[in-house]
Amino acid sequence: MSEQTMLEIRNFSKSYGGSHKAVDDISLSVNRGDIYGFIGHNGAGKSTTIRAVVGVLDFKEGEIFIDGHSVKAEPIACKKITAYIPDNPDLYENLTGIQYLNFIADIFEISAAEREEQIRKYAGQFEITEALGDLISSYSHGMKQKVAIISALIHSPKLLVLDEPFVGLDPKAAFTLKEIMHGMCANGTAVFFSTHVLDVAEKLCNRIAIIKKGKIIASGTMEELTEGHSLEETFLEADNAENNTAA
Partner 1 sequence: MQKTILLLKTLLLSTSQRNIFRYTTDQTKKKRIIAGLIGAFLLYGMIMAYGVLMCIGYGALGLTGSIPVMTALILSSLAFLFTLFKTNGYLFHFREYDMLMALPFSPGTVAVCKFFYMYLKSLPWYFSISIAMLIGYGYYAKPAVAVYLIWIILSLILPLIPMVIASFLGFLIAKISSGFRKTNLIQTILMMGLVIFGFSLRYIITSVMKNEQVEEIINLTAQTTDQAAEWYPPVRWFADAVGKPAVLPGLLLIGTSLILTLIVFCFVGRSYRQINSALMSHAANKNYRLKRQSQHSPAQAIAFKEYRRLVGSSAYMTNAAVGEVLTVLFGILTLLFGFERIVLTVTMDAPIDVTILQPAIPFLIYFFIGMVSTTACSFSLEGKNYWILQSLPVTKEEICQGKMLFNLYLTIPFMTFGILCMCISARVALINTLLYVILGTALCAFSTAWGAVCGIRFMRLDWENEIEVIKQGTAITLYLFPNMFACMILTVLMVILGMRIDHRMLTGIMTLIIAFFAWLSYRRALVLAKKL
Contacts to partner 1 by CB under 8 A: 16-18, 51, 54-56, 76-77, 79-80, 82, 84, 86, 90-99, 102-112, 115-116, 119-120, 123, 129-135, 137-138
Residue 192 or 235 having the CB closest to partner 1: 192
- Exposure letters 160-183 (e unless 16+ CB within 10 A, then b): bbbbbbbebbeeebbebbbebbee
Residue 162 or 198 having the CB closest to partner 1: 162
CB atoms within 10 A of CB 97: 27
Residue 5 or 108 having the CB closest to partner 1: 108
Q: Are strands 69-70 and 61-66 parallel, antiparallel or unpaired?
A: antiparallel
CB 53 within 8 A of CB 66: yes
What is the closest distance, in whole angstroms, from the C-beta atom of residue 105 to partner 1 in the complex?
7
Instruction: Compute the distance between CA of residue 70 and CA of residue 159 in angstroms, rounded to an integer.
Output: 14
What is the closest distance, in whole angstroms, from the C-beta atom of residue 194 to partner 1 in the complex?
15
Residue 44 or 54 having the CB closest to partner 1: 54
What is the closest distance, in whole angstroms, from the C-beta atom of residue 135 to partner 1 in the complex?
6
What is the closest distance, in whole angstroms, from the C-beta atom of residue 123 to partner 1 in the complex?
7
What is the closest distance, in whole angstroms, from the C-beta atom of residue 184 to partner 1 in the complex?
18
Phi, psi angle pair for 212, to nearest 5°: -145, 130
In eight-state DSSP terms, residue 156 is -
Residue 135 or 238 having the CB closest to partner 1: 135
The set of residues, in sequence order, having a beta carbon less than 8 Å from that of 1 and lying 6+ positions away, is 8, 29, 65, 68
Closest-CA residue to 112 (of 122, 101, 96): 101
